[in-house]
Amino acid sequence: MATKVVMEALSPTMEEGRLVEWKKKEGDSVAVGDVLADVETDKAVMELVARAEGTLLKQVAPAGATVPVSDIVGWIGKPGEAVGGNGATADKAGGTDKAQRPEPVEAPRPERKAEAAPAVAAAPAPAPARAEGERVKASPLARRMATERGIDLAGIQGSGPAGRIVQRDVESAQPAAAAPAAAAPARVLVIPAGEPYQDVPLTQIRKTIAKRLAQSIGPIPTFYLTSEVDMERTADARDAINASGDGKISYNDIIIKATALALKQHPECNGWWQDDHIRYWNEVHIGMAVAVPDGLITPIIRHADLKTLREIAAEARDLAGRARERRLKPEEYTGSTFSISNLGMFDIDEFTAIINPPEAGILAIGRIAEQTVPAAEGLEVRKRMKITMSCDHRVIDGATGAQFLRTLKRMLENPLAMIW
């Protein structure tokens, strides 16, 4: 009996997906776990894999089509088995069509602490020689991890069923040196000469941004608090750390760390609005806004209060680079408890950011600029920065938000306060 291939919910917030490219053609043999197509979700481009084996009998949805979750995109069955043009099976034996059963994607609950991976006792055994052109069998997760780490799957011995390469095999392999994060490519819009306008279809990420903004700015009673911070001591501390030559940290890394520590002191600002209750988090997971060519995505630094500045810096670079390449996993951009948006690198003095529900607050960071300010002996030029907090008044009161900002300001103006 033919098996339906359906559009799966590849991320917790996904309602529809766009078929970017079919990886299998009609008539191709398919094994369980083979990548059938690349799908653009609301946050990333992910793989739609086969849940049944056989032959790809029909591509119901063409490349480029946008398909709601659970709708049919194709059929897998025995060679020559017929299916109807409207997606109904034409199997003469009768019976009920089977559908490939997608693995449910749940909104991840932030874990308390990542456990260290077990040590590898020995290097992976050399992979047996493969015939020229033979396809390497690997799970989708293993393929993604290998791509991210620069590892050639052809050189790995698979330990899964039938020699299939799985996650543990890639983890045991020696990764290549990490490549630097790519800068966000500029989005260039060219309107044809002589045309009064050009209509551009919405991408999945732009649809999600529009929907989320409507959910945020409309029903959420928002107020804003702005403070100006003297960044001289933070600048000195950053220069001293970077002068050690043991990796570079940015101002944003320091702001993430300081914000996380301030939230630990003010858990009233580290909460989610849940309609009939407020969830106050004891864990701090900071979402950092990253510009991508067609919008914005917010990867998460989990347990930011427990990580060193160097750990935050390395993780932030990695997440930002993969966010721009649309290669984040769902658990890497869902579940933040508070967010930060920094436009200082674009010479923006100050702005207000829109809250990302169900979070109750977001911090907008302006540029660090030299200003002349009063001093003990006349005037002095100091590095100053404006920060603005957007607050959901259903969770955060004015005095509560002000106390949080005061603590954050104190930490940034005196970095030693972070270690007390």
CATH number at residue 73: 2.40.50.100
Say if residue 19 is in the same domain as residue 163.
no
**One domain for residues 89 and 144:** no
> Which residue is catalytic, options 266, 277, 303, 393?
393
Active site residue 285: no
- Region of poorest pLDDT, from 99-113, 266-280, 292-306: 99-113
Q: Are residues 37 and 1 in the same domain?
A: yes
Determine the Cα–Cα distance for residues 337 and 358; give it in Å rounded to an integer: 8
For the ranges 14-23, 278-287, 305-314, 338-347, the lowest mean pLDDT is seen at 14-23
Number of domains the chain contains: 3
Q: Which of 26, 48, 28, 35 is nearest to 137 (CA)?
A: 35
> Which residues, other chains included, contact 386 with Cβ-Cβ below 8 Å and sequence gap of 6+?
226, 227, 228, 229, 349, 350, 366
Is the same domain home to 98 and 161?
no
Instruction: Report the pLDDT value the prediction gives residue 98, as an integer from 0 to 100.
Output: 58
- Residue ranges making up the domain that contains 167: 137-177
10 falls within a domain = yes
Over residues 146-171, the mean pLDDT reads 75
Residues 6 or more apart whose Cβ sits within 8 Å of residue 309: 241, 249, 253, 254, 257
- The pair of structure tokens assigned to 116 is 């260290």
State whether 327 and 400 are in the same domain. yes
| H helix and E strand count, the chain | 7, 19
Of the residues 61, 83, 103, the one at which a domain ends? 103
What is the 8-class DSSP label of residue 186? Answer: P
Same domain, 59 and 96: yes
The answer to whether position 295 is within a domain reads yes
- Banded pLDDT at 94 (limits 50, 70, 90): very low
The structure's pTM equals 0.61
Shared-domain flag, residues 381 and 237: yes
Q: Do 28 and 5 meet the contact criterion of CB atoms below 8 Å apart?
A: no
* pLDDT tens-place string over residues 2-59: 899 999 988 777 888 999 999 999 999 999 999 999 998 877 888 899 999 999 999 9
What CATH number is associated with residue 311? 3.30.559.10
